[in-house]
Chain A
Amino acid sequence: MSESATLPSAVAPARTSSSWEFWGRWLVVPYLLIFLVFVLYPVCYGLWLARHPESYVKLFEDPIFFRTAVNTLVFLVVAINVKMVLALLLSGFFIQTRWWIKIISALFILPWAVPSIPTILSVRFMLNPEWGVINSTIFRMTGLDGPNWLNDPTLALTFSMLMHIWKSLPFWTLILLAGRMAIPSDQYEAASVDGATTWQKFRFITWPSMKTLYLTSTLLSMIWTLGDFNSVYLLTGGGPADLTHVLATLGIRYLRLDQVDLAMASIVVALPLVLPLVYYMMKRLSK
């Protein structure tokens, strides 16, 4: 491995020509400045703010925090797995060549391409207990009042997860679709000749070549979902009674209440989960 990595530079003429090194250094300076000023310094400053043990005591004593931790775990385990399985299945649908599937796939990407705030607010209005379209329809059909959807913590969190899936499913479907398209089609043709069923084709051709991509995508999605503020904040605002917060919204809530030490502490407690994921992803992608 290391041999093949050093080979190109050994073949290429020695790159000592100083103007090349000079320009190379100057061209990375803008990004390095951005990194130092807006990533490294804030991260160090944030960790420094989170240095007091009392912050963690206060955090663990806050009943909202425990609920938030549970919500975050549920969000990660349920929403991400449902989303990735759906994305895997749908990538099998979108790989079919039909004129109408092309149209659907063009529209399917919309949730990802458009900003989240208008669409999330649109769903929020649909769920309005008095005049939202869902409860109006229930009332017209049955004469009964529909449930107060976002006033029930379980339902509210479920809708936040659905919102998250609605928003990010297209992206992951696209990624997994690209993975499927990279599988040579003659493998499927050969399998068909041998009389393989659809399931067997998936089990023995599709899955073995996609599982690394699937795993990487799931882990990456986990990291990003931890930072998904919009799906929860814009739909439920963390309510009712702060019962539907996730770590992303709780940190911002503390920040808005001017309790930065708590905000940072709530992030630091997630680091044991985040850092191994980040480390693994960096190793994968920097290869």
Chain B
Amino acid sequence: MKRSFLKTVTTEAKLLLIGIPVLVWTLVPIYHMFLFAISARDSATSGRLWPQEPTLQNFDFVFHQKHFYLDHFWIQMGNSLLIALTVGFLTLLIATCAAFAISRLKVRGGRTVMNLALFTYFIPAAFLAVPMYKTMGLYGLLNSQWALILAMVTIASPYCIWVLKQASDKLPYELDEAARMDGASPMQLFFMVYLPLMVPSLVAVGTYSLLLAWNEYLYAFLLLSNDKSVTVAVALGNFLSADDSPWELLMTTGLIYAMPPAAIYYTFKRYMVSGLTSGAVKS
């Protein structure tokens, strides 16, 4: 009895010995950002774990755009939102159609399309950025938000098609047969049978592409430059160019910018985790 108690205690202690460092490692950069956000200008670096006089003044500065770095804060927030939503919507549309055609309609050449998508998925993002930037210039899209939207759709859709195809391959083919026996057209099958059954994967994939677009820095920084058309990520990067940047405002803006994706992730967590890992385990 005593021995098993002792054994339990050692096991728990060992687990805590892993858990605590993991938690600290994960939270330090985020907590540091939070600490900056609730500290007055010069007290953020005092080394205290909690500021002597926590303040929400920084948030007031950001929300009311009271610094020239923040002149377009709300417009940039709106840009980030608009771009993320458009990318999420377009990616979902394109990927669902492609996955349905490949997996359910078994269109000829579907396998090739899947391979093209996988190929795109495996190009390192920063490598594709160079020729993508040049071609966006040729298309006359530079500095237009469409450039970023289309680039992000290009990057997000391959993985979405793959995840959706994996999920729809698992649906029993008898469903399609039954629908066809009843004289359903492909579109009726798509809207009345396929989409309702695919909802969990669609949520996962939609959330994935939305977050990918909201969080993107490199493509946004290359493709957009006008202060009024950039996203928050690019605006944060611009703080870096000056030595006298107001760090506490930068960290406050960063915290505000990081919160929506975290909230969205937690809301759709169960779809995300199962949706994004199911394909990986199979391979």
Q: Do A and B bind each other?
A: yes
Which of B113, B125, B132 sits near A42, CB closer than 8 Å? Answer: B132
Question: A260 on the interface (CB 8 Å rule)?
Answer: yes
Interface centre among A113, A217, A263, A282 (most CB of B within 10 A): A113
Closest chain A residue to B259 by CB distance? Answer: A114
Which of B98, B236, B273 sits near A27, CB closer than 8 Å? Answer: B98
A285 touches B281 (CB 8 A): no
Question: B95 on the interface (CB 8 Å rule)?
Answer: yes
B243-283 to A contact mask, C-beta < 8 Å, 1/0:
00001001101110110011001100100010011111101
Given contacts A38-B154, A118-B254, whether A132 and B45 have CB atoms under 8 Å apart is yes
Closest chain B residue to A278 by CB distance? Answer: B122
Question: A227 on the interface (CB 8 Å rule)?
Answer: yes
B277 touches A213 (CB 8 A): no
**Number of A-B residue pairs with CB-CB distance less than 8 Å in the complex they form:** 297
Please measure, in the bound complex, the distance between the C-alpha atom of A175 and the C-alpha atom of B186, giving whole angstroms. Answer: 35
Which size class do B's interface residues fall under?
Answer: 35 or more
What distance in Å separates the Cβ of A33 from its nearest Cβ neighbour in chain B? 9
What distance in Å separates the Cβ of B203 from its nearest Cβ neighbour in chain A? 15
B197-209 to A contact mask, C-beta < 8 Å, 1/0:
0000000000000
A285 touches B162 (CB 8 A): yes
A116 touches B130 (CB 8 A): no
Question: A155 on the interface (CB 8 Å rule)?
Answer: no
Given contacts A24-B101, A35-B117, whether A42 and B135 have CB atoms under 8 Å apart is yes
Question: B67 on the interface (CB 8 Å rule)?
Answer: no
Question: B170 on the interface (CB 8 Å rule)?
Answer: no
Contact residues in B for A115 (Cβ distance below 8 Å): 214-217, 233, 257-258, 261
Given contacts A19-B185, A182-B281, whether A108 and B45 have CB atoms under 8 Å apart is no
Which of B27, B109, B161, B218 sits near A252, CB closer than 8 Å? Answer: B218
What distance in Å separates the Cβ of A130 from its nearest Cβ neighbour in chain B? 9
Which of A27, A170, A174 sits near B105, CB closer than 8 Å? Answer: A27
Question: A73 on the interface (CB 8 Å rule)?
Answer: no
B277 touches A175 (CB 8 A): yes
What distance in Å separates the Cβ of B184 from its nearest Cβ neighbour in chain A? 11
Interface centre among A110, A117, A122, A230 (most CB of B within 10 A): A117
B277 touches A223 (CB 8 A): no
Question: B242 on the interface (CB 8 Å rule)?
Answer: no
Please measure, in the bound complex, the distance between the C-alpha atom of A23 and the C-alpha atom of B106, giving whole angstroms. Answer: 11
Question: A203 on the interface (CB 8 Å rule)?
Answer: no
Which of B32, B118, B153, B247 sits near A282, CB closer than 8 Å? Answer: B118
Contact residues in A for B1 (Cβ distance below 8 Å): none
B15 touches A114 (CB 8 A): no
Given contacts A27-B105, A285-B162, whether A39 and B154 have CB atoms under 8 Å apart is yes
A251 touches B217 (CB 8 A): no
Closest chain B residue to A15 by CB distance? Answer: B106
Contact residues in A for B100 (Cβ distance below 8 Å): 27
A50-79 with Cβ < 8 A to chain B? none
Please measure, in the bound complex, the distance between the C-alpha atom of A121 and the C-alpha atom of B254, giving whole angstroms. Answer: 9
Given contacts A182-B281, A286-B114, whether A136 and B45 have CB atoms under 8 Å apart is yes
A129-144 with Cβ < 8 A to chain B? 131-133, 136-137, 140
Contact residues in B for A157 (Cβ distance below 8 Å): none
A113 touches B262 (CB 8 A): yes
Which size class do A's interface residues fall under?
Answer: 35 or more
Contact residues in B for A237 (Cβ distance below 8 Å): 240
Closest chain B residue to A141 by CB distance? Answer: B47
A residues lining the B interface (CB < 8 Å): 8-9, 12-13, 15, 19-21, 23-28, 30-32, 34-35, 37-39, 41-43, 45-46, 49, 90, 93, 96, 98, 100-101, 104, 106-111, 113-123, 125-126, 131-133, 136-137, 140, 166, 170, 174-175, 177-179, 182, 212-213, 216-217, 220, 223-224, 226-230, 233-234, 237, 247-249, 251-252, 255, 260, 263-264, 267, 270, 274, 277-278, 281-282, 284-287
- For the complex of A and B, the 4 pairs showing the least CB-CB separation, nearest first, are A118-B254, A227-B124, A24-B107, A46-B131
A117-B233, A227-B125 given; 20 more Cβ-contact pairs under 8 Å: A23-B101, A31-B161, A35-B117, A38-B132, A45-B131, A96-B15, A107-B27, A109-B265, A111-B26, A119-B254, A126-B29, A166-B26, A166-B29, A175-B277, A182-B281, A224-B124, A229-B126, A251-B129, A252-B222, A281-B122
B residues lining the A interface (CB < 8 Å): 15, 18-19, 22-23, 25-30, 32-33, 36, 45-47, 93-95, 97-98, 100-102, 105-111, 113-120, 122-135, 138-139, 150-151, 153-154, 157, 161-162, 173, 177, 185-187, 211, 214-218, 222, 233, 236-237, 239-240, 247, 250-251, 253-255, 257-258, 261-262, 265-266, 269, 273, 276-281, 283
Identify 17 residue pairs between A and B in the complex whose beta-carbon atoms are under 8 Å apart, listed by A's number: A25-B101, A28-B98, A31-B161, A46-B131, A93-B19, A100-B19, A114-B262, A118-B33, A126-B28, A175-B280, A216-B280, A237-B240, A251-B126, A274-B124, A278-B122, A285-B279, A286-B111
